[in-house]
C-alpha cells in the first residue's frame, strides 16, 4: 500500500502539485490519468523518489519516503519494479541479459539461481524461447514484455509503469494491460500506471486518480467513471461523440443489469 498525504511540489514560482491525497492498495491496478501538464508525471517521480516533495508524506506501508535516509531508500527501491515508457532495454544485451541485469546489480546469487529466476519470469510473460534474442530482433510488444519481466525479476512489492502501451497497436496494448493486471493480482503487487490510454482506463482501472492542474480532481474505479458527473473528467475521458455514445449505451446496459 502507498499513501500520499498533502503532497505539494513547486519548481520556482510554478506550483505543479497541490495537496494531493490518495491511497493505492496492493492487488489493484492504480492509474494516474490527466492531460499533459496536469502533474501526473511529476507525481509519479515524487512517488519513486526522483523528486523530493516540498511538503507532505509518501508512505510505503507506513514508511515515509520523504524522511528516510539513503540506506533505507536503497532498500525500498529494491522493492520497486519500473516499466519505462520506451522499455529502456540495453541494445547490446540479449533478452536474458536484460532481465538478469537487476539480479546482477542487487543480489549475490549464483548464476544458476539467477538464470532460473530469469526463465521463470520470461515464461510468465510468454517469452519462454526468447532468451538469446536481441532487442532489435523482437517486436514492440515483445520488448514491453521483456521490460515487464525485468521489472518483476526481483519480486517487487510495488510496480510503476510509465505509459506501458506507448507505441503499441490496440490489440497488443490489450495484451499488455491484461498481463499487468494478472500479475498485479497474482503477486499482490501495488501497481501504479501513468497512462493516456483510454482502453487501459476502462479495462484495467481498479482505482483511478484523475489529475487536473496539479490537483486530484476525481478518484474512483473504471465502473464509477461511467456514472461520473464530473465535467472535467467526462470531457477528458469521453472527448469524442463516439465515446459519449458508448458511455450512454453502457450506462443503459448497467442500469438494466441492476434491475
**Residue 133 phi, psi (nearest 5):** -80, 155
Domains annotated on the chain, with CATH: 2-221 (3.40.50.300)
pTM over 0.85: yes
Q: What is the pLDDT along the chain (259 residues), one digit of tens a residue?
A: 999 999 999 999 999 999 999 999 999 999 999 998 899 999 999 999 999 999 999 999 999 999 999 899 888 988 999 998 888 999 999 999 999 999 999 899 999 999 999 999 999 999 988 999 999 999 999 999 999 999 999 999 999 999 998 888 888 889 899 999 999 999 999 999 999 888 888 888 999 999 999 999 999 998 898 888 899 998 888 877 777 777 777 777 777 877 6
Amino acid at each position: 500500500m502507498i499513501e500520499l498525504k498533502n503532497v505539494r511540489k513547486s519548481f520556482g514560482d510554478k506550483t505543479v502539485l497541490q495537496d494531493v491525497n490518495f491511497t493505492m492498495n496492493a492487488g489493484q491496478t492504480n492509474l494516474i490519468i490527466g492531460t499533459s501538464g496536469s502533474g501526473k508525471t511529476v507525481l509519479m517521480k515524487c512517488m519513486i523518489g526522483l523528486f523530493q516533495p516540498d511538503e507532505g508524506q509518501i508512505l510505503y506501508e507506513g514508511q515515509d519516503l520523504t524522511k528516510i535516509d539513503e540506506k533505507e531508500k536503497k532498500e525500498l527501491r529494491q522493492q520497486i519494479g519500473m516499466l519505462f515508457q520506451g522499455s529502456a532495454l540495453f541494445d547490446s544485451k540479449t533478452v536474458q541479459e536484460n532481465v538478469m541485469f537487476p539480479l546482477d546489480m542487487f543480489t549475490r546469487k549464483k548464476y544458476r539461481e539467477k538464470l532460473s529466476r530469469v526463465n521463470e519470469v520470461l515464461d510468465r510473460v510468454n517469452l519462454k524461447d526468447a532468451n538469446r534474442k536481441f532487442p532489435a530482433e523482437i517486436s514492440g510488444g515483445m520488448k514491453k514484455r521483456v521490460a515487464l519481466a525485468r521489472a518483476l525479476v526481483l519480486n517487487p512489492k510495488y510496480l510503476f509503469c510509465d505509459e506501458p502501451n506507448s507505441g503499441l497497436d490496440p490489440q497488443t496494448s490489450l495484451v499488455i494491460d491484461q498481463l499487468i493486471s494478472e500479475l498485479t493480482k497474482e503477486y499482490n503487487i501495488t501497481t501504479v500506471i501513468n497512462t493516456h490510454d483510454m482502453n487501459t482506463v476502462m479495462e484495467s482501472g481498479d482505482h483511478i486518480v484523475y489529475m487536473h492542474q496539479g490537483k486530484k480532481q476525481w478518484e474512483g474505479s473504471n465502473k464509477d467513471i461511467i456514472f461520473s458527473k464530473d465535467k472535467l473528467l467526462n470531457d477528458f475521458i469521453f472527448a469524442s461523440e463516439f465515446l459519449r455514445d458508448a458511455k450512454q449505451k453502457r450506462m443503459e446496459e448497467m442500469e438494466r443489469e441492476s434491475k
